[in-house]
């Protein structure tokens, strides 16, 4: 029997584990494993494989790109039930938090580990992803203590104008102008939130939420509205980008360092299977090689 949200009987030989993960993406070549590159997935899989005494393969909610951070990343894996039946783990998946903290490098951490039903899928069961972008327009740039998660914009920004521009992009649209092209992939997304505010330090902070994001989409959204905020472009120009059918060269891609995945929403457990089925159906409708709305294959 295993604690952690779902009881597993003695006859069960496999478990599904959910992990809540945070990392500083500065020194990583992104989430996805890449030969010869230091990646978040590679570091975590290597440590879990040692602790659980079998090869671990993670499925993730959003494959963040090089330099992008996370405080609310979610992943899952399947392992033998016996993997938790050790002196150090004592059939308690929560013990993985302490064990991995002693073995992982300081810039990546598993913050929670729980047993879930096989209906849970970190990627396909997700309802939406939430990102935060931090952008400073201070003449001196980012404070040194915040330089790893705060990007710098060289001109003064009007946050009110940026909110006006952001509001025109909310909704279900084809975001082709903001996405790097991938053959067979749809660029239709449901952008549910895109708003800006200044924090107590004067940093311009964007909160961005959608069912899923295309590759480079968030940073392109930020870059587009920042050009409005600096007065170089109009709100109408920004809105007009939704009429484009391919990547718009006039849209700058904001630096990766300012971007953090802060959360992933899932339905209640009794709806995991249904949500996963819907997402897979949409993906299949696009094609075997495409990304689907709701299927965050490569997010940033």
Looking at 20, 24, 65, 295, which residue is catalytic? 65
Give how far the C-alpha of residue 19 lies from the chain's centroid of Cα atoms, to the nearest Å: 14
> Does position 300 have pLDDT exceeding 70, yes or no?
no
Q: What is the pLDDT of residue 294?
A: 36
Q: What is the pLDDT of residue 283?
A: 56
**Higher-confidence position of 9 and 121:** 121
Indicate if the alpha-carbon torsion angle 92, 9, 80, 18 is positive or negative.
negative
Mean pLDDT of 93-113: 97
Q: What is the pLDDT of residue 285?
A: 53
CA–CA dist 20, 27 (Å, integer): 20
Contact 26, 126 (CB under 8 A): no
Tell me the two tokens of residue 134: 């931090």
Mean pLDDT of 35-49: 97
Q: Active-site residue 65, yes or no?
A: yes
Closest of 238, 141, 237, 241 to residue 196, by C-alpha: 238
Cβ-based burial of 36 (10 A; exposed 0-12, middle 13-18, buried ≥19):
exposed
Rg of the chain over Cα atoms, rounded to whole angstroms, equals 20
Q: What is the pLDDT of residue 284?
A: 57
Which pTM does this prediction carry?
0.91
């Amino acid at each position: 029997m295993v604690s952690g949200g779902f009881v597993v009987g003695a006859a069960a030989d496999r478990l599904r584990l959910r992990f809540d993960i945070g990392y500083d993406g500065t020194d990583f070549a992104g989430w996805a494993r890449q030969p010869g590159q230091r990646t978040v997935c590679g570091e975590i899989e290597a440590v879990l494989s040692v602790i659980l005494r079998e090869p671990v393969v993670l499925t993730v909610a959003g494959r963040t790109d090089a330099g992008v951070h996370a405080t609310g990343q979610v992943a899952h894996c399947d392992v033998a039930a016996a993997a938790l039946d050790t002196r150090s783990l004592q059939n308690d998946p929560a013990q993985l938090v302490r064990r991995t903290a002693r073995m992982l490098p300081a810039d990546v951490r598993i913050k929670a580990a729980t047993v879930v039903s096989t209906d849970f899928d970190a990627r396909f069961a997700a309802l939406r992803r939430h990102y935060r972008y931090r952008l400073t327009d201070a003449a001196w740039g980012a404070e040194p203590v915040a330089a790893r998660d705060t990007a710098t914009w060289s001109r003064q920004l009007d946050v009110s104008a940026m909110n006006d521009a952001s509001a025109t992009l909310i909704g279900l649209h084809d975001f082709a102008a903001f996405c790097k092209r991938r053959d067979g992939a749809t660029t239709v997304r449901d952008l549910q939130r895109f708003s800006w505010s200044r924090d107590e330090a004067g940093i311009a902070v964007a909160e961005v939420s959608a069912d899923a994001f295309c590759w480079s989409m968030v940073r392109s959204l930020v870059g587009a509205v920042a050009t409005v905020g600096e007065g170089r472009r109009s709100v109408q120009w920004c809105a007009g980008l939704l009429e484009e059918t391919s990547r718009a060269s006039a849209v700058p891609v904001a630096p990766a360092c300012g971007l953090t995945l802060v959360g992933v929403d899932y339905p209640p457990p009794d709806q995991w299977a249904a949500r996963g089925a819907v997402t897979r159906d949409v993906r299949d409708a696009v094609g075997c090689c495409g990304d689907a709305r709701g299927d965050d294959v490569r997010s940033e």
